[in-house]
Amino acid sequence: MQTLSKTLNQALTALLLMLASSLAMAELEPVRIQAYIASLDEVRVLGKELKAEGKEAFLAGQIMPREGQSFDPHQRAVSALKRDEPAYYSKLESSVVKNGFTSPESWAQTGDQVVLAYGAVKVAAESPQILAMAAQSGPEQDMLLMALPEKQRAQLKQALLIAKALAAVPEADRAAVKPYIGTLDTVFTEEGLQ
């Protein structure tokens, strides 16, 4: 359970701090993965600006996955910026267009796809039982949830949402991201996400 919690917390933290699709149908090609990675330095700076203005909680609240909703934190963040922080949305647009994306929305779709594939590869390698647990639903899972104190129940529900999203990542996306795992580990470690 400790490994489950640690791995899922790392994945969730990475998603939340990166500023932000449901799994995109577009093929995850190396050029898109490389462009996403290349964009992260500038996006990170934008995230620090939001944090300095005390707006990180606003963004975190927008991108947290909720039961019954798609797990698409990048896309939620972009939508929130477009709606509530147009100046930051414009800065994001300028940044991601320089890296070959057509819009913040296309960047967000790629980001969600990359991060979910990355998470799926990492979890499958480090804790495959998490994906197996996510695949289970029904009375056993409900009984486990009901046996937990409220705070732990909420945390496990959140973890299961993430795990279910990771379990649903297409094998093609996992294969596309595998050559970049080391680079993504480094990028996420630089941000203090590991």
Q: Please give the pLDDT value at position 65.
A: 67
187's tokens: 């990028």
Q: Please give the pLDDT value at position 24.
A: 39
Q: How far apart are CA 88 and CA 82, in angstroms?
A: 8
What is the pTM assigned to this prediction? Answer: 0.77
Q: State phi, psi for 29 to the nearest 5 degrees.
A: -95, 155
Nearest-CA neighbor of 79 among 52, 99, 107, 57?
Answer: 107
Neighbours of 7 (CB within 10 A): 20
Q: In this structure, which amino acid lies at residue 74?
A: H
For the chain (194 residues), the mean pLDDT of every run of 10, in chain order, is 46 39 64 95 90 82 70 89 93 95 96 94 86 71 75 77 86 96 89 49
Q: Please give the pLDDT value at position 21.
A: 36
Q: Please give the pLDDT value at position 40.
A: 93
For residue 184, what are the contacts with CB-CB under 8 A and spacing of at least 6? Answer: 37, 114, 118, 177
